[in-house]
Amino acid sequence: MKISDKYLISDNGDLKAVKKVLNGKKLSGTSDFVFDYENKLSKFFQSKYAAALSSGTAAIQTALFTLGVKNGDEVIISSTCPSMSVVPILALGAEPVFCDTEINNFGLNLESLNKLISVKTKAVIEVPMWGYPTKVDKLKHLLEIKKIPLILDLAQAHCTKLNGNCLSFYGDISCFSTHDRKILATGEGGFVLTNNENLFNKIKSYIQFGNMKGDEFGLNFKLSSLQACIGSNRIDLIKRQLSLRKKNAKYIAKKISNPYVKEFEIVDNGDPNYYFMILRLTFSDNIKFINYLEEKGVPSDVLRYDYKVLYKYPLFKKYKKKCINSETLVKSFTTIPVHPHISKTMLDYMISAINNYKE
């Protein structure tokens, strides 16, 4: 059996929505369709302000620029994030400072973070991977004392919750991707959320040429109305999508009997969106198990992205700061797909592949 890790949304009113835009004759990012989408985003994610953007990477660059990050500044970021979370820092001429994570989740280790904070630190980025929550409440509390803004890269964590709140509740600016593989998918795209009006005005200006008045710097990071209307339509389907993901993950968690495999730890009062399900592995050779599953047709993001701490890739080598927890963490798990198109047959197939494996 070959199991797909990509959730392809189909037959849900997208065509009707696109047609409406085409009939309206305005396809650009300044049409009312984009405005309506932004209103829908802010309502759904319980944030005062939302701005639609051309990508998740553009969202992070916009957040950094808005918070005043520039040449020579430092931005602290977890070493377990993907390259897309970091390249916007480089794009602004600032320096990424890799911080160690916890050993049981992708949250920044606060002790390590404390040691890395300097007068050059202009922002901190936390990146909850595969939709599993991190302790963003404690992180926000620490940064408030230090007067350093928190950016959350929630590209994989739409609707992931902590203490009953969307994680974005805790960020000064939260960044999302709506790339085709993400929970909310518009092909390419992204958005940012904030509760701060001042920040929001700066965000809007930056993503549309500094409002074209010639006094503020800005680029063009707008989202087209065709993508916005697809997003608007699909927001309505997220709740059901998430409940099916959770049901699949719970089913797997219950049936795993291999003593070296269990569900990844969930932080207290946390609620993952199950963008993927993470399995914690305690084999003497975890990669062998991950390769075995791949051969059985069960794909892993660890293999797909050659996942490791970021400073091990050539592009980021020069920013290396050894992160001991992160290096252990990245070798201790795999991901499996639990999206709504994973049938009961597929779930049972994955479970028996996992349970039948012996080292």
Ligand X SMILES: *Cc1c(COP(=O)(O)O)cnc(C)c1O
Site of interaction with ligand X (CB under 6 A): 55-57, 82, 84-85, 127, 153, 155-156, 177, 179, 190
* Minimal CB distance residue for ligand X: 56
Helix/strand/coil (H, E, C) string of 297-344? CCCCHHHHCCCCCHHHCHHHHHHCCCCHHHHHHCCCEEEECCCCCCCH
Of 223 and 346, CB closest to ligand X? 223
Alpha helices per DSSP H over the chain: 14-24, 32-44, 56-66, 83-91, 110-116, 136-146, 197-207, 225-235, 238-255, 286-295, 301-304, 324-329, 344-356
DSSP string, 194-248: ES-HHHHHHHHHHHBGGGGSSSS---B-PPPHHHHHHHHHHHTTHHHHHHHHHHH
> Which of residues 135 and 182 has its CB atom nearest to ligand X in the complex?
182
Q: CB of 139: closest distance to ligand X in angstroms?
A: 16
Token pair listed for 78 = 């977890």
- Smallest gap, in angstroms, from Cβ of residue 156 to ligand X? 5
Least Cβ distance, residue 353 to ligand X (angstroms) = 26
Nearer to ligand X, 57 or 241 (CB): 57
Rank residues 88 and 270 by Cβ distance to ligand X and give the closer one.
88
- As a whole number of angstroms, the distance between CA 115 and CA 38 comes to 38
Q: Encoding tokens for residue 146?
A: 């230090």
Among residues 186 and 232, whose Cβ is nearest to ligand X?
186
Residue 249 Cβ vs ligand X, minimum distance, rounded to whole Å: 19
Closer of 90 and 253 to ligand X (Cβ): 90
